[in-house]
């Protein structure tokens, strides 16, 4: 049985006409004697609208109930696409997470897939040409619906393909993976092949092409991912092992960053370790940490996503209230801009070229690894920074 797993994002299934077009596209694949598993996201802005609706009722909705609400979006897409397929004489069946046997841990809103009932899925494929499965969701050991977090449909598709040793195709508005988001830099180049490690860093650093957990799974199981445009025949891009063509492969942008500054902490590294331990337990997305000794005190700075600011401020004020000299300050409207490339491991002068590109642009924090360099800058300087870096590294 030749199985292909395809995933279609929210903009691809945004209305009935697009769903009917996808059904026709699937029909062509069926003619090649393939069995297809289609993973779908919620239609258009459905998830955003459901979140907005929940917050009209509660500022902090019960997470179990929020997952119960959010999982309805994908069920609508799956059933509509199955209807469209059956309408054109393709034997299709839609399955939600429970019916498909997608099991996760108990972490609502950010659940991780633990296993698939592959026997159940394969039995369904014996009787149907196409299975349309809800992405972004699973069920926990209590039988409750869980969601995998933003971009979770990518994870659903790659995990399914990996467990079934099937081909994996991810479809969106873009005909592949670009050096830079074309919305930010129209002259960006399309990349034909991308290394797992590079794609993993780009996804973590703000690239919207794939969710980083889907890339982690692909790397673990050596699943090749094809990324293409839903409504275009233009050849897309492949994520796979062993590609090392250039020093810098891509540039990622992560907006909505806030810099947290804790000034005049006592020289007590146990206290600092405890702060970061608790922030991890509270699921704050802490990044780009700087620790400086100054005048027998310690100043700590780090970046968080803007949405965490209020909760972070409440935590720090409570946790540090006994230290009267400590001051908290915040910088808003910041953006993390990063370059990624496995070629950095063996090339000299990449950091020098990166910082030369940002000459006269104030940088507040920096972080590096073997294959990436990130800088935190003011949002107002983003366009200039992208242009300079793109020209320096021929992106």
Known binding positions: 7-10, 47, 74, 178, 208-209
The one-character DSSP state at 301 is E
Q: List binding-site positions for substrate.
A: 47, 74
Up-side HSE of residue 33: CA atoms within 13 Å toward CB?
2
| 7 within 8 A of 42, measured Cβ to Cβ | no
52 CB burial (10 A radius; 0-12, 13-18, 19+): exposed
* CA distances, 174 to each of 50, 240, 241, 284 (Å): 26, 18, 22, 31
- Residue 57 has phi, psi (to 5 degrees) of -100, -35
Q: How many CA atoms lie within 13 A of 216 on its CB side?
A: 10
Task: State the distance between the two ends of the chain, measured CA to CA, in whole angstroms.
Answer: 41
Concatenating the DSSP letter of every residue in 277-295 gives HHHHHTT---EEEEEEEET
Q: How many CB atoms lie within 10 A of CB 63?
A: 14
Q: Where are the beta strands (DSSP E) in 242-345?
A: 250-265, 287-294, 297-305, 327-340
Q: How far is CA 183 from the centre of its chain?
A: 17
| 82 contacts 62 by C-beta, under 8 angstroms | no
Summarize the annotated binding site for ATP as residue ranges.
Answer: 7-10, 178, 208-209
Nearest Cα neighbor of 341 from 367, 370, 375, 366 is 370
Beta bridge partners of 294: 297
């Amino acid at each position: 049985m030749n199985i292909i797993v395809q995933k279609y994002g929210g903009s691809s299934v945004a209305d009935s006409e697009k769903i009917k077009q996808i059904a026709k596209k699937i029909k062509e694949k069926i003619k090649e004697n393939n069995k297809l598993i289609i993973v779908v996201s919620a239609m258009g802005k459905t998830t955003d609208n459901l979140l907005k609706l929940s917050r009209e009722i509660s500022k902090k909705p019960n997470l179990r109930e929020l997952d119960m609400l959010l999982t309805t979006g994908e069920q609508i897409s799956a059933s509509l696409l199955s209807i469209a397929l059956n309408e054109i004489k393709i034997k299709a069946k839609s399955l939600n997470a429970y019916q498909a046997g997608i099991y996760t841990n108990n972490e609502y809103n950010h659940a991780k897939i633990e296993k698939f009932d592959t026997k159940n899925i394969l039995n369904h494929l014996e009787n149907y040409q196409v299975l349309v499965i809800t992405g972004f969701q699973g069920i926990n050991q209590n039988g409750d619906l869980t969601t995998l977090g933003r971009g979770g449909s990518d994870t659903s598709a790659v995990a399914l393909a990996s467990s079934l040793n099937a081909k994996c195709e991810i479809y969106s508005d873009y005909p592949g993976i670009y050096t830079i988001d074309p919305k930010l830099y129209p002259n960006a180049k399309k990349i034909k092949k991308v290394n797992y490690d590079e794609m993993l860093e780009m996804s973590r650093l703000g690239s919207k092409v794939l969710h980083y957990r889907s890339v982690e799974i692909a790397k673990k199981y050596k699943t090749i991912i094809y990324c293409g445009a839903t409504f275009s025949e233009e050849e897309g891009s492949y994520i796979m092992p062993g590609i090392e063509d250039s020093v810098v492969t891509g540039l990622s942008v992560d907006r909505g960053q806030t810099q947290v500054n804790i000034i005049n902490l006592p020289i007590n590294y146990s206290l600092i370790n405890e702060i970061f331990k608790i922030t991890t337990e509270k699921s704050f997305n802490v990044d780009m940490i700087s620790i400086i000794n100054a005048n027998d005190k310690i100043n700590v700075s780090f970046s968080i996503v803007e949405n965490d600011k209020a909760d972070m401020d409440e935590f720090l004020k409570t946790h540090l209230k006994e230290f009267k000299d400590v001051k908290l300050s915040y910088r808003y409207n910041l953006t993390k801009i990063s370059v990624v490339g496995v070629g950095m491991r063996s090339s000299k002068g990449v950091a020098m070229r990166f910082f030369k590109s940002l000459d006269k642009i104030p940088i507040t924090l920096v972080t590096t690894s073997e294959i990436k360099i990130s800088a935190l800058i003011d949002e107002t300087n983003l366009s200039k920074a992208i242009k300079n870096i793109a020209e320096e590294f021929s992106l």
